Amino acid sequence: MAQRELRKSFRSAKGVVLLFLSLLGGTAATLILAWIQQQVRDRLPDPSPEGMQAAREVALTAAFGDPMTGHSLALAPEVLLAVFFITVSLTPLLISLLGFDSVAGDLQHKTVRYWTLRTRRASYMVGKWLGVWATVSAITLTMHAVIWVVCIVRGEAPAATTLSWGARLWLITLPMSAAWCALTTFVSSLFKTPIVALLATFASFFGLWVVYLLGLRYDITALTYAYPNTFDRFLIHARADRWMTGLGACALMTALYVGASSLIFTKRDV
């Protein structure tokens, strides 16, 4: 099911367009960030690599509240770090556009009946989630790979450093995108009309973002945990207990959404 979903996505006009836009956006973002980085370097009193790293370490330690993480992340090429945070922010949009019709599209014209006859409905739902996740992961990997190439060609960082940090940062996006994909599949499974599913997906993502902002505004940490991207700061952390917490939280969120959609789908008429 996941394999079929992957094939379907990359054959569809929607999948190809989103892949193209992601590549275009990724390349453009890298070039813009590199230019900004150069402007900043030109204005710094000590633009040597060591001076830049020290400045990064101070800033990242302050951002993460942990010297170990600050020290670790300061070794990463700046462009890759910036692209990572941009990717994490924009991935929900990519996921919603790719996955809104994953189940709703099958329900709309009852195509789902060919599958429910032969597979357990929970397996179908897991396959759908896995398919969307695999597609999104493949698109983001391609986008990241283009960024790595641009970084290497422009001499932003040595190839080994770029590839090692690039792969690590891409892997960190996966648990969060898994949770977003699970939520998208869940919403998609509730509707028979794809456009309604798309609007509901946007609404639910926006709703979670508002909850996250409210959590930040009123200092209610528990509220921020409803928003999967909250865990980027955990997953990127150098301390094992922190990134494992982030990984566990994303896994739990994914399991909850996939479980709920499977349960509802098992009980409903198709």
Q: Does 16 bind other proteins (CB under 8 A)?
A: no
Residue 241 or 269 with smaller CB distance to other proteins:
269
> Would you say the C-alpha torsion 65, 158, 140, 87 has a positive or negative sign?
positive
Distance CA 86, CA 211 (A): 20
| DSSP assignment string, 32-56 | HHHHHHHHHHHHSS--SHHHHHHHH
Query: Distances in Å between the alpha carbon of 144 and those of 86, 112, 155, 162, 248?
Result: 11, 34, 16, 11, 24
Residue 270 makes contact with other proteins by CB under 8 A:
yes
CB 24, min distance to other proteins, A: 24
Out of 12, 61, 161, 245, the only residue in the binding site for other proteins (CB under 8 A) is 12
Q: Work out how close the CB of 120 gets to other proteins at its nearest, in angstroms, rounded to a whole number.
A: 5
For the chain, the first-to-last Cα distance in angstroms comes to: 18
Least distance to other proteins from the beta carbon of 130, Å?
15
8 binds other proteins (CB under 8 A): yes
In Å, what is the CA distance from 221 to each residue of 145, 211, 217?
35, 10, 10
Query: By the 8 A CB rule, do 74 and 180 touch?
Result: no
Our CB check for other proteins shows the closer of 193 and 245 to be 193
Site string for other proteins, 117-136 (x = CB under 8 A): xxxxx---------------
Q: Is-contact 131 5, C-beta < 8 A?
A: yes
Which string of x and - marks every residue 98-117 that binds other proteins (by CB under 8 A)?
--------x--xxxxxxxxx
The region of 6-14, 27-35, 202-210, 218-226 touching other proteins under the rule CB under 8 A is 6-14
Q: Closest CB to other proteins among 139 and 176?
A: 139
Say how far apart CA 52 and CA 176 lie, in whole Å. Answer: 30
Stretch of 8-16, 69-77, 129-137, 240-248 contacting other proteins, by CB under 8 A: 8-16
Binding residues for other proteins (CB under 8 A): 4, 8, 11-12, 106, 109-121, 267, 269-270
